[in-house]
Amino acid sequence: MNRSHFIRMSLLAGTSLLAAGAAVAHVTLAEGSATAGSDYAAAFRVGHACKDAKSTTGLTVRVPAGFAVQKAEPRDGWTLNATGSEISWKANSPQAALPASEKAQFIVRGKLDAKPGPLWFKVLQTCDVGSADWAQIPASDTAKPEFPAARLMVLAPGSAAPVEVSDAWVRRAVPGQSGTGAFMKLKAPEAMRLVGASTPVAGVAEVHEMKMEGDTMKMRPLSQGLELPAGQTVELTPGGYHLMLTDLKQPVNVGTTVPVTLRFVDAKGVASEQTLQVPVAIGAPGGGAASGGEHQHQHKH
């Protein structure tokens, strides 16, 4: 299996749209990908307490098959227990609990087996008030679980870590409309460029930039692509960088998804692709300024 095909299939298995539609606040892994057969430090990031709670008082990780635990890192003021396939930390006092306003990592070191693909860690978070069981595994790449499990993408040896894609959406196109836009957040594990895109619903898909020139908002294609600095989130939004889809071949209706293939080139000139199934919407997930009404473009080429 070549590198581009593996990344494409990996994302279709659950990477892209989990990011696009899952709950914003949840327990995640600091490093969301690793190579099959390698040692891996699973650092579970907790950045909030449970609903209506003031602090996190405990965390229990249910270790999946495919990850052999070697050591769990203790935490000052907390009791660490490892029983079978479960590892738990419990605050010894209210003072040792993790305040809702603070972030922390709970680390389990181990070794991955040789099988590539998504690996799901179910995590139970307990708080001074209630609990949150982050254990839901999406049934499909369009599912949006309220309490998603923490996902690790296990890569075949020699494969590059995929670009993290979140909050992806395509703006609906009304009958007779010849073009629309695709928007998302991109976070590359290493410096690279987004150099192009394609989709079967449009004859042309290009990376564009919109910006004010005098009193007019104008749009131009980025002939050299869009720079994605390592570890930094780059947003594609209405009124800024985005994917412009023109010469539409079919309706783009709310409630459907659009396959979009992104093309990247890294600093060494190595090309890769990722294919997403992107939901169609009137505005951005969660609303906000970026989700305003239909926007008009003036092209400047």
pLDDT at 210: 82
Percent of the chain with pLDDT over 90: 58
DSSP of 54-119: SEEEEEEEEPPTTEEEEEE---TTEEEEEETTEEEEEESSGGGSEETT--EEEEEEEEE-S--EEE
Residues 280 and 177: beta-carbon distance below 8 Å: no
pLDDT of 27 above 60: yes
Q: Quick one: DSSP state of residue 12?
A: I
Q: How far is CA 166 from CA 163, 186, 233, 239, in A?
A: 10, 7, 10, 18
Phi-psi category of residue 221: left, alpha or beta, with phi > 0 → left and psi -120 to 50 → alpha: beta
pLDDT at 113: 93
Domains in the chain, please, with CATH?
A: 24-155 (2.60.40.2230), 164-284 (2.60.40.1890)
The model carries a pTM of: 0.62
Query: Mind listing the pLDDT tens digit for each residue in 242-293?
Result: 999 999 999 899 999 999 999 999 888 888 889 999 999 998 876 544 444 4
pLDDT at 14: 35
pLDDT of 238 above 50: yes
Query: Mind listing the pLDDT tens digit for each residue in 144-177?
Result: 789 999 999 898 887 777 888 888 999 999 888 9
pLDDT of 98 above 70: yes
Query: Mind listing the pLDDT tens digit for each residue in 44-77?
Result: 999 899 999 999 999 999 999 999 999 999 999 9
pLDDT at 10: 39
For all residues of the chain together, what is the average pLDDT?
84
- Rounded to an integer, the average pLDDT of 99-121 is 94
Q: Which residue has the higher pLDDT, 88 or 291?
A: 88
